[in-house]
Copies of this chain bind each other. A is one copy, B any other.
Amino acid sequence: MPELRRGPTNDRWVIVAPERAKRPSDFAKRGSELDEQQPEGCPFCAGNEEMTPAETFRVANGKEWYVRVVPNKFAALQDYDDLGREAIEGFYDRMNGVGAHEVVVETPEHFCEIPDLPAEQIKRIIDAYIARLRELMTNPWFRYVILFRNHGKEAGASLLHPHSQIIATPVVPQEVRNSLNIARAYYESKERCLFCDVMLAEIRGGHRVVEENDGYVAWAPYASRFPFEFVIYPKAHSHDFTTLDDDQRLDLAWILKRSLQRLTLLLGDIPYNFVLKTTPNPVPRPGKPGYWKTLPYDYHWRIAVLPRLTRVAGFEWGTGFYINPMPPEDAARHLREVDLADA
């Protein structure tokens, strides 16, 4: 059973999830190259469905599936009906590794990344995201659901076949709490959403904007940690990603496709992560301590795309400070200047 642990000198939870029978020497081995992986034997390819655990969701037309969601075979957190929160050895906090860990198989095809998929297929992936998030957000043990995508080995991917992942956690992560606290204080002072205000300033300024359509705007943040990092915000205020209607989902599919096309045409097939940031789960038991009572203006859902072209080293681990060699204004200009007719 995985375990959540927290030490007394910082507020950081860590998931300790021992991998079965792994010896010390196994940690030092390099993984195989992703680009050597072929459709034969790929658990996510059409025809190999029996290689994965049973589906939790699918988007399909008759027997032909477009998107599948399956539990992760090597789950970081597991479904279990007891949190087991306790103090350990006086100083430490622990609880059972209660949660969920699922994989969204984004297409039956082995070699087809988001920039190459039709927007309609990307919308089906978003449909799957929302269906699973809605379901997981109702579990009373889960306080937060995070959705992310690792592309390329340097970004943490271990399988080449296009996929993203969903993890439900029994705590609201520190980074999310920090951001909620800042946005709540801003709202209390201004009675406006902090994220809406920043977005409007970015749209007016325009020099960090990468891509825009009716529903969304993508820009390189003023204090970007990584070269060519960008965020995608919905223009209409919403703290909850799972409320999107069909038109909003299609607009999101288009801006994801076009902004990732820009990245790929400019830099080639680089490693990147993307992360959805959405509101903590609704309070299932209002009387219970520890649940986050979210207000609609504490948060604004968004997607962050983080290219992995620089290495995080001792300085960053020690300080939480990042060194970015690419000014975001220049990154945005380069991305804007890509001619999508070349795609």
Q: Are B228 and A324 in contact (CB under 8 A)?
A: no
Pick the contact of A24: B9, B223, B267, B277 (CB < 8 A): B267
Pick the contact of A326: B27, B275, B312 (CB < 8 A): B27
Q: Are A25 and B267 in contact (CB under 8 A)?
A: yes
Pick the contact of A146: B146, B174, B275, B319 (CB < 8 A): B319
Nearest opposing residue in chain B for A334, CB measure? B24
Query: Can you add 11 more A-B contacts, CB < 8 Å, to A8-B186, A9-B198?
Result: A11-B182, A16-B326, A16-B328, A18-B327, A92-B223, A144-B319, A167-B315, A173-B320, A277-B318, A304-B318, A312-B312
Most buried by B among A76, A173, A317: A317
Q: Which segment, of A33-41, A61-69, A83-91, A288-296, faces chain B?
A: A83-91
- Contact of A129 with B by CB under 8 A: no
In the complex, 14 of the A-B residue pairs with CB atoms within 8 angstroms, ordered by the A residue number, are A7-B221, A10-B178, A10-B182, A13-B321, A14-B323, A16-B326, A17-B323, A18-B325, A89-B201, A156-B311, A156-B314, A173-B318, A275-B318, A304-B317
- Contact of A110 with B by CB under 8 A: no
| Minimum-distance CB pairs A-B, first 10 | A156-B313, A148-B314, A275-B318, A173-B319, A273-B314, A7-B223, A175-B320, A5-B223, A156-B311, A27-B309
Pick the contact of A313: B150, B169, B178, B221 (CB < 8 A): B150
Which chain A residues numbered 306 to 343 have a C-beta less than 8 Å away from chain B?
Answer: 306, 309-315, 317-328, 330, 334
Q: Are B314 and A150 in contact (CB under 8 A)?
A: yes
- Contact of A154 with B by CB under 8 A: yes
Q: In the complex, A186 Cα to B90 Cα: how many Å?
A: 14
- Contact of A81 with B by CB under 8 A: no
Q: Are A314 and B275 in contact (CB under 8 A)?
A: yes
- Contact of A286 with B by CB under 8 A: no
Q: Are A195 and B148 in contact (CB under 8 A)?
A: no
Q: Are B314 and A149 in contact (CB under 8 A)?
A: yes
Q: Are A14 and B321 in contact (CB under 8 A)?
A: yes
Interface of A is mostly: mixed
- Contact of A232 with B by CB under 8 A: no
Q: In the complex, A8 Cα to B221 Cα: how many Å?
A: 10
Q: Are A15 and B317 in contact (CB under 8 A)?
A: no
- Contact of A22 with B by CB under 8 A: yes
- Contact of A239 with B by CB under 8 A: no
- Contact of A130 with B by CB under 8 A: no
Known: A7-B221, A24-B267, A194-B9. A319 touches B169 (CB 8 A): yes
- Contact of A58 with B by CB under 8 A: no
Q: Are A326 and B18 in contact (CB under 8 A)?
A: yes
Nearest opposing residue in chain B for A76, CB measure? B323
Q: In the complex, A312 Cα to B310 Cα: how many Å?
A: 13
Which chain A residues numbered 208 to 241 have a C-beta less than 8 Å away from chain B?
Answer: 221-225, 227-228
Nearest opposing residue in chain B for A93, CB measure? B223
